[in-house]
Amino acid sequence: MWFTWRILLKGGVPLEEVQLLLGHKNPQTTQIYDKRVRRTSESASHKVPF
């Protein structure tokens, strides 16, 4: 099962969809397993206008 969610996340499937597939009630549980490296520009803080 771990291999499946890893492929899905790396393939661009949204975390929320993977959460549903795994049956996690809390998105933070799914985020524990999400080890993708994010670029700084993808951070929500970069979308806030100054």
Are the C-beta atoms of residues 30 and 15 closer than 8 Å to each other? yes
Distance between CA 47 and CA 29 in Å, rounded? 25
pLDDT one-digit tens code per residue, 1-50: 657 777 888 888 888 898 998 898 998 888 887 776 666 666 677 677 87
The pLDDT of residue 31: 82
4 contact partners, CB below 8 Å, separation of at least 6: 21
Please identify which residue in the block is written with the tokens 């979308």: 47
Structural domain contains residue 44? no
The pLDDT of residue 12: 84
Other Cβ atoms closer than 10 A to 13: 13
* Structural domain harbouring 23: 2-34
Structural domain contains residue 47? no
pTM for the predicted model, two decimal places: 0.58
The pLDDT of residue 29: 85
Structural domain contains residue 6? yes
